[in-house]
Amino acid sequence: MTDRILSETRPLAGPLRLSGRPVLQQAGAVLAGTLLLALASQISVPMVPVPVTMQTLAVTLIGAFYGWRLGAVTVLAWLFEAMLGLPVLAGGASGLAPFMGPTGGYLVSFPIVAALVGWLAERGWGGGNLLRSFMAMLLGNALCLVFGWAWLATLIGAERALLAGVVPFLIGAVLKSALGAAILKVSSRNADADVSA
């Protein structure tokens, strides 16, 4: 009885309320999320040693929309697809090489980033409040850059890693965070309109 009351009063994770849906619907959401990530990976600007892509925007949005658990699972599934050889990473890359090279730290950070943004969104840092949404997205992007820098530093040194793997991505991180927050805000308004209709 107590469990039923708690489950009824506890908010379902993410604006899509996926945690309360049947397993098959959740599996479908995971598949759709991996497709979104694969598409976002192909929107890239080649740079050395790490390309600029829309991956971080997709990762943070998946976390915010799916909730921290399913968001992290979705990103892990996408990375597993890459490891299996599917061309789902930037430039159609796949296999283990991207995880060992300059992009390794960023890739490893993505499930953690999705979980962080999803966790924050479940606690009110989602679409309802534009500033909090922006801050959640920005924290996710910052965490990605920290992981990316730390791994890249082991390959090319700390200062070079900062100049090549962090500084060029700072403006993009702010812009993608603002875009992500705007998308969450619009979707939140639409969801509220559907509920009130």
Write the single-letter amino acid at 13. Answer: A
Q: Which residues of the chain have pLDDT under 70?
A: 1-15, 190-197
Residue from 91, 83, 77, 98 nearest 33 by CA: 77
At 19 the pLDDT is 77
At 195 the pLDDT is 45
Tell me the pTM.
Answer: 0.88
At 192 the pLDDT is 53
At 191 the pLDDT is 59
Q: Rounded CA gap, 127 and 132, in Å?
A: 8
Cis peptide before 49 (omega within 30 of 0): yes
> SS3 for 16?
coil
67-88 pLDDT tens trace: 999 999 999 999 999 999 999 9
- Percent pLDDT > 90 in the chain is 75
Strands 44-45 and 52-53: antiparallel
